[in-house]
Amino acid sequence: MHSVAEKASFSIGYPFATDFNYEELHSLLRYPLFNLGDPFMESNYGVNSFTMEREVIGFFADLFQAPKDNYSGYITSGGSESNLYGLYMARELYPDAIVYYSSESHYSIPKSIRLLSMKSIEIGSNQNGEINYNDLFSAIEQNRHLPAIIVANIGSTMTEAKDDISKIKNIVQSLLVESHYIHCDAALAGAYLPLLEGAPKFDFSAGADSIACSGHKFIGSPIPCGVIVVKKDNKEHLSHYISYIESIDSTITGTRNGLSSVFLWYAIKHFGKEGLLKRASECISLAKYTHQTLLENNIDSYYNENAITVLFEKPSGVLCQKWQLATKSGYCHLICMPGISKGQIDAFLEDFLNEKKSNKANS
């Protein structure tokens, strides 16, 4: 346990909130809390958390401005399953479609495409990590006779870039591609971006058909979990009645972890939208401080607006290992998640700057 606690104190490179406390729910560990089948239809197994799961889905449906009488979804095992479900639904609606996704998409996107045996085209990205809209236009134009499924990153993995849903929507409309589906991977930013004043819209009112969001990232959970919100009409294409459980099978995993729904329900009730906004504002402020401090010390760094992620030149392998920094192409990032303190950031910056000075003195 000491080793875990020590490593947690140096974890600034992955998007996992650490300020949660679910001790009040400890007694639930005595029960086999499993959610079987569709959360909007009770099964013949009663030891579940369907009531809380529905409330969580309703919270996110409202956050994402889903149609009030036409939304559904469920609590998944994480963002990867949520993305798989969104693409699975899109494939069932448009089996001949081509999937267009960014080179900066999470690795679960191409993996899901392979699992579902879907045709796809990878689209290049701009310097900030956002999808290249000109390349997307050209790719769809060449295949305009086929339905288009577009995966939009609402917070890319390395730079937390947000693809513009309105631009994507304009592309398919200008090319007269009537059969199209937009899935938004909002694993990290989905829980707070809609709360920020002036932030780009990526919700159902903007043109999204499904939205994936992680629960263990910004909200926080000791168990990986996620949320997928979809249109109820579309979900019916995936639903099959299972007599064994006297319910509808409309999920990927079937029997699901019921504790995740309770954790998310508890956190949402505790924070509310105002509390989540406060956390987001604090995280964004810390990210801006980090970015500015790096620049002031002549360290190459990049920051996207409304993000809690800071990209910067890669330090030594020793520091990357100590601070658990994810790296790519000579750069790495740190993520100012809830629970990460200014003290931790300052300690990392001190390590990094001392290393730079030492390297300069020895060169």
Mind listing the pLDDT tens digit for each residue in 12-55?
A: 999 999 999 999 999 999 999 999 999 999 999 999 999 999 99
* pLDDT mean over 236-253: 90
Q: Are residues 289 and 151 in the same domain?
A: no
Q: Are residues 253 and 185 in the same domain?
A: yes
Number of H helices, E strands in the chain: 10, 15
pLDDT of 362 over the 90 cut: no
Count of Cβ atoms closer than 10 Å to residue 77 Cβ:
19
Of 332, 336, 333, 325, residue with least CA distance to 284: 336
Q: Are residues 285 and 150 in the same domain?
A: no
Q: Are residues 177 and 44 in the same domain?
A: yes
Of 157, 193, 182, 242, residue with least CA distance to 63: 193
More confident residue, 183 or 242: 183
* % of the chain beyond a pLDDT of 90: 91
Q: Are residues 33 and 113 in the same domain?
A: yes
pLDDT of 1 over the 70 cut: no
Are 177 and 47 in contact by the 8 Å Cβ rule? The answer is no
* Cα angle value 70/136/112 (rounded, 5°): 60
Q: Are residues 117 and 236 in the same domain?
A: yes
Distance from C-alpha of 219 to C-alpha of 273, rounded to nearest angstrom: 11
Count of Cβ atoms closer than 10 Å to residue 46 Cβ:
8
Distance from C-alpha of 119 to C-alpha of 33, rounded to nearest angstrom: 38
pLDDT of 363 over the 80 cut: no
Map tokens 């104190």 to a residue.
Answer: 9
Are 18 and 220 in contact by the 8 Å Cβ rule? The answer is yes
pLDDT digits (tens, 9 = 90+) for 280-334: 999 999 999 999 999 999 999 999 999 999 999 999 999 999 999 999 999 999 9
pLDDT of 2 over the 70 cut: no
CATH code of residue 63: 3.40.640.10
Count of Cβ atoms closer than 10 Å to residue 10 Cβ:
16
- Return the CA Rg of the chain: 21
Last residue of some domain: 207, 237, 269? 269
Please name the amino acid found at residue 330: G
Are 11 and 18 in contact by the 8 Å Cβ rule? The answer is yes
Distance from C-alpha of 26 to C-alpha of 334, rounded to nearest angstrom: 31
Helix (H) or strand (E) holding 311: strand 309-313
- Residues in CB range of 363: below 8 A, 6 or more apart: none
* % of the chain beyond a pLDDT of 70: 99
Last residue of some domain: 249, 269, 289? 269
Chain centre distance of CA 53:
18
Of 295, 291, 297, 327, residue with least CA distance to 309: 291
Distance from C-alpha of 134 to C-alpha of 124, rounded to nearest angstrom: 10
List the single range of 22-26, 243-247, 255-259 with lowest mean pLDDT: 243-247
Give whole-number Cα distances, 10 to 261, 324, 342, 346, in Å.
28, 7, 13, 12
Distance from C-alpha of 325 to C-alpha of 37, rounded to nearest angstrom: 38
More confident residue, 12 or 254: 12
Domain with 346, as residue range(s), is: 2-17+272-362
pLDDT at 159: 97
pLDDT digits (tens, 9 = 90+) for 90-122: 999 999 999 999 999 999 999 999 999 999 999
Last residue of some domain: 220, 246, 269? 269
List the single range of 135-144, 193-202, 235-244 with lowest mean pLDDT: 235-244
Q: Are residues 221 and 192 in the same domain?
A: yes
Strands, DSSP E only, in 124-169?
A: 148-153
CA dihedral 350, 323, 212, 52 (to 10 degrees): -100
Q: Are residues 221 and 293 in the same domain?
A: no
pLDDT at 359: 85
Q: How big, in percent rounded to 5, are the helix, strand and coil portions of the chain?
A: 45, 20, 35
Of 283, 300, 282, residue with least CA distance to 291: 300
CATH code of residue 12: 3.90.1150.10
Q: Are residues 192 and 133 in the same domain?
A: yes
Distance from C-alpha of 266 to C-alpha of 222, rounded to nearest angstrom: 13
Q: Are residues 153 and 230 in the same domain?
A: yes
- Residues in CB range of 247: below 8 A, 6 or more apart: 36, 37, 38, 41, 42, 43, 44, 241
pTM of the prediction? 0.96
Domains identified in the chain, total number: 2
pLDDT of 254 over the 90 cut: no
Q: Are residues 261 and 335 in the same domain?
A: no
pLDDT digits (tens, 9 = 90+) for 211-221: 999 999 999 99
Give whole-number Cα distances, 244 to 40, 94, 247, 257, in Å.
17, 30, 8, 19
Q: Are residues 225 and 291 in the same domain?
A: no
